[in-house]
Amino acid sequence: MPGDTPFVELEYCQLTHDGECACGDDFQWALADGGNRHIAVLSDGLGSGIKAHLLANMTTTMALEFMKSNKPILRSAEIIMDSLPVCEVRKISYATFTIVDMLSATGRARVIEMGNPSYIQLRGEMEIPSFSRRELVSERWPDRKMDISELQMLTGDRLIFCSDGVTQAGLGTGVYKFGWRRSGCLAFARELIAREPAISAKDLSRAIAFNAMSLNKEHKCVDDISCVVLYFRKPRVLRILTGPPFHKEDDSAFAALAADGADRVIICGGTTANIITRELHTRVELDLKMVKVSGSLPPPGKMANVGLVTEGILTLTRVTTDLERHNWDDSPVAAREILAAIEESDVIELVVGTKVNEAHQDPKLPIDLEIRRNIIRRLQTVLENDYRKKVTLTYF
């Protein structure tokens, strides 16, 4: 079951040096080996502005490609350092990097760092040291030492890494003579997680970046600030049941899937809802008050102890179309509620009954209804391709 494999939530927050139009840090990530590896690279280019951005961007792009194709790290680093243009003012070329290469399923990871503040691994509030750390130095670039750490992420762990705009924040101010430093950032993250144990990668990276900025004089960005958070967590599973099972004998097995095993359940379809209420001895409450705001779809309802109930084909068609056009600002409530649930979930399990409702084939209907299977196929495609959701399909 995909629900057993941890989910990798990878987010970052970047703040640009005041007065510059481009950030001198760059972050990129990619999936490799058919999705089995997550590779993320953060680089901080020398100086700030366009020139720094170029250095950083060249570094992340090259590092990502080298990692994907499993090139030896020392050789890769040498190629990167050789190819960066030399700064006219400083007569050196320089861009730091942090590379995280993690097996998505097992959480086994390697972190390669050159010049960036060292990463933080947190299990809840507890910091976890790497179990092996070694140094690697190129003979041709003896002053650019690299640290290679091996670590094991467990479900619920977070990995935080940042540019020195974070650790040097507040430098020279009264409180932080030497800047916020890694220790300040660590304490801040631990405190935040203590208060909000399920804080998302996005919120945590933003909190760290903005707090760093606030430590600077007049809250200025005196250096580019980047913070990346990788949250290796239990995936959130949304199960959507739609359509009556082909064989009536399967109704109870079908309905059982509404009762258990997912974080959230949505039932799309009136007949489907009826089967489930009958099997689970529950009932649906459709709120007629919703009618006035329900727009061009039937209003959503609630099934006690199960979840949201909506009409079937029209609503799913709307949801799919909205996902395809990446916009649901003006969508009716029923569709918007499904879309919100999809957004907050990592795994979408589609449980599809295949019995055809004869009434839907009626030529007197004002518009042609999509066939359920086609809509489901479109939905699966857009969720996987455009929204990085894991989708499973079960037919009944």
Partner 1 sequence: MQDKIKLEICCGTTCYMLGAAELMTIEDTLPDAWKDRVDVFAIPCMDLCTREDIGRAPFVRIDGEVMGNATLETVHRALSKLLPIEPEEV
Please pick, from the candidates 23, 58, 122, 286, the single residue that binds partner 1 as defined by CB under 8 A: 286
C-beta closer to partner 1: residue 163 or 320: 320
Q: Is 270 in the site for partner 1 (CB under 8 A)?
A: yes
Q: Is 218 in the site for partner 1 (CB under 8 A)?
A: no
Phi, psi of 38 (to 5 degrees): -105, 125
Q: Is 379 in the site for partner 1 (CB under 8 A)?
A: no
CA dist., res. 267 & res. 306, Å (int): 9
Least gap, CB of 278 to partner 1 (angstroms): 10
Centroid of chain to Cα 186 = 22
Q: Is 357 in the site for partner 1 (CB under 8 A)?
A: yes
Q: Please give the structure tokens belonging to residue 107.
A: 């959480």
Q: Is 245 in the site for partner 1 (CB under 8 A)?
A: no
Q: Is 375 in the site for partner 1 (CB under 8 A)?
A: no
Half-sphere exposure of 266 (CA within 13 A, CB side): 24
Please pick, from the candidates 6, 47, 115, 298, the single residue that binds partner 1 as defined by CB under 8 A: 298
Buried-state track 9-33, b at ≥16 Cβ within 10 A, e below 16: bbbbbbbbbeebebbbbbbbbeebe
Q: Is 299 in the site for partner 1 (CB under 8 A)?
A: yes
Q: Is 269 in the site for partner 1 (CB under 8 A)?
A: yes
C-beta closer to partner 1: residue 22 or 273: 273
Binding residues for partner 1, how many (CB under 8 A)? 31
Q: Is 287 in the site for partner 1 (CB under 8 A)?
A: yes
Specify which residues 231 forms β-bridges with.
Answer: 9, 158
- Within 8 A by CB and 6+ apart from 345, the residues are 235, 236, 237, 238, 263, 264, 389
Q: Is 122 in the site for partner 1 (CB under 8 A)?
A: no
Length of the chain (residues): 396
Q: Please give the structure tokens belonging to residue 84.
A: 């960066």
Q: Is 368 in the site for partner 1 (CB under 8 A)?
A: no
Q: Is 273 in the site for partner 1 (CB under 8 A)?
A: yes
Buried-state track 321-343, b at ≥16 Cβ within 10 A, e below 16: bbbeeeebeebbbbbbbbbebbe
C-beta closer to partner 1: residue 184 or 353: 353
Choose one: 124-132, 217-225, 232-240, 355-363; the region binding partner 1 (CB under 8 A).
355-363
C-beta closer to partner 1: residue 58 or 314: 314
Please pick, from the candidates 86, 137, 365, 371, the single residue that binds partner 1 as defined by CB under 8 A: 365
Choose one: 174-182, 219-227, 254-262, 283-291; the region binding partner 1 (CB under 8 A).
283-291
By CB under 8 A, the residues from 305 to 334 that bind partner 1 are: 309, 311-314
Judge residue 206's burial from the number of C-beta atoms within 10 Å of its C-beta, 0-12 exposed, 13-18 middle, 19 or more buried: middle
Choose one: 9-17, 227-235, 248-256, 292-300; the region binding partner 1 (CB under 8 A).
292-300
CA dist., res. 134 & res. 115, Å (int): 15
C-beta closer to partner 1: residue 207 or 303: 303
CA dist., res. 15 & res. 23, Å (int): 7
Q: Is 155 in the site for partner 1 (CB under 8 A)?
A: no
Q: Please give the structure tokens belonging to residue 391.
A: 């989708």
- Closest to 168 in 3D by CA, of 218, 208, 215: 215
CA dist., res. 274 & res. 282, Å (int): 10
Please pick, from the candidates 360, 373, 377, 378, the single residue that binds partner 1 as defined by CB under 8 A: 360
Please pick, from the candidates 5, 61, 138, 271, the single residue that binds partner 1 as defined by CB under 8 A: 271
Q: Are 371 and 320 in contact (CB under 8 A)?
A: no
Least gap, CB of 280 to partner 1 (angstroms): 14
Query: What residue ranges bind partner 1 (CB under 8 A)?
Result: 269-271, 273-274, 284, 286-288, 291-292, 294, 296, 298-299, 301, 309, 311-314, 357-360, 362, 364-367, 369
